[in-house]
Structure 1
Amino acid sequence: MLLVIDVGNTNTVLGMYREDQLVRSWRINTDKSRTMDEYAMLVHELFQLSEFHFTDVKDVIISSVVPPMVNTLEQMCREYFKLKPYIVGPGVRTGMPIQYDNPREVGADRIVNAVAAYEKKRCCLIIVDFGTATTFDFISARGEYQGGAIAPGLGISAEALFERASKLPRVEFSRPPQVIAKNTVNSMQSGIFYGYVGLVDGIVNRMKEEAKETPLVIATGGLAGSIASASQTIDEVDPSLTLEGLRIIYDRNKTAS
């Protein structure tokens, strides 16, 4: 089986593939202070809950936007899985041309998402990934990564409002019953939720105008479903897009080696 690991600034998502089927996935907090042994213990506990064993893992591929985590997880793989993992980055075959001023600046997760979405749809695309930051990535009909935009994530925005406005409470992110709210909590939820929907639709529409194309818009990430329910521009939600991209990149590199 293949273990895929996507390390984000807030969460790390792991998935187990049997050939091209995602059998199980888990989401844990990203913690740079954990050692390789601590991560191994955590993975072992997750495996036990699903009746997996370290020996079931025949290969590992990792993408990370947190540089210190790469070495930690690579050491874990070598020590406990007895494997050298594939690391998404320079030297790894993605099969996608990167039309960026400096391709090394593009986050691994953005490329992984782009690879998965284009492999599935084979058309012009915009991918919106709701993470610590929200990223917008444009892929041409020829399968070229052409760039995009990065905005503060929903969590960052909501936390900044709580921290900087003395009288405002910390609120749970949810869609309020109406835009014109009747209390402070709902007012904050209205501003955060519909303000963010407006941000997403505004950026996507401007990308469409600039590119003079009509791309398919795919959303992924933890809050994708919530925002998509009110968005006028998101066409599909694919919660496993990044894991699927890791599997595809693994297959391309395994075949080439």
Structure 2
Amino acid sequence: VPSGKELLAFLFNDFLLFSTIKTSSNNWQSQLFELKSNLQLKLYRLPLLLADIFVANEIPNDQLSFSITMKINEKPLILKTQHTNIRTLWVRAINSALEEYQVTEKLILTDKALFTVTNHEHDSQAAVVHLVLVIIEARDLISPTTTVERHRSLNSYCEITVGSLTLKTPFMKRTNNPKWNTSIQFSLYDFAKDIIHINIFDNEFFSPNENIGYTSIHLIDILPCSLDIFLTPPLQPFTQTIYLNNGASIIMKCTIQFLL
């Protein structure tokens, strides 16, 4: 880089990470991928998301340097390698990763489009229920990852899907008992059959968000009383504790309005 710092770069499926060696070491190359290593690295800058990278190019008249052009910033990032073949390998690896990322993104968008098409059967129907959910809080969340970090605090958010519509809460930092108090709204087309999918994720910064609890329910199954009693006017909001697949729970307030 122009600053002259020696960087270590790591290319992942969806981002490029730069770090510096925190403690000087003459044999850091041999320690880099050892299971038990004293090598300490420090994050140099926020990762470059592949979604934000346009292309990597070799710099003419410079056998050691290459540039990374971003979609947003006009000024490219200039990097210098130790050998010409290393520069060539990095340019090829970055551009290949970009191509694979774009293919993956297209497949995801295609899957979402197919999911939406399968749910277009509701387009010809009128909604019968207006549902307001207040996602109050979750309790006893825990990471499913069996590591020494299993009991660390989580940056969790809740995602609710009904039909083809998915809405989510903001994420709460460093707590296993998040209080969101977030209101979201859905339309139901079949009161008895429409399914409410609940997923809670740990918001990760350098890796895919991790699912830390889920369940699927029918609204009719969480009513506070039998349906005939519940339908007796006036309809009252109710609060329910819903247990997830791993024993954690989420508390939601439900307001139901039947549409004429």
TM superposition score normalised by structure 2:
0.22
Q: Which has the higher strand share?
A: 2
Question: Radius of gyration: which is bigger?
Answer: 2
TM-score (normalised: structure 1): 0.23
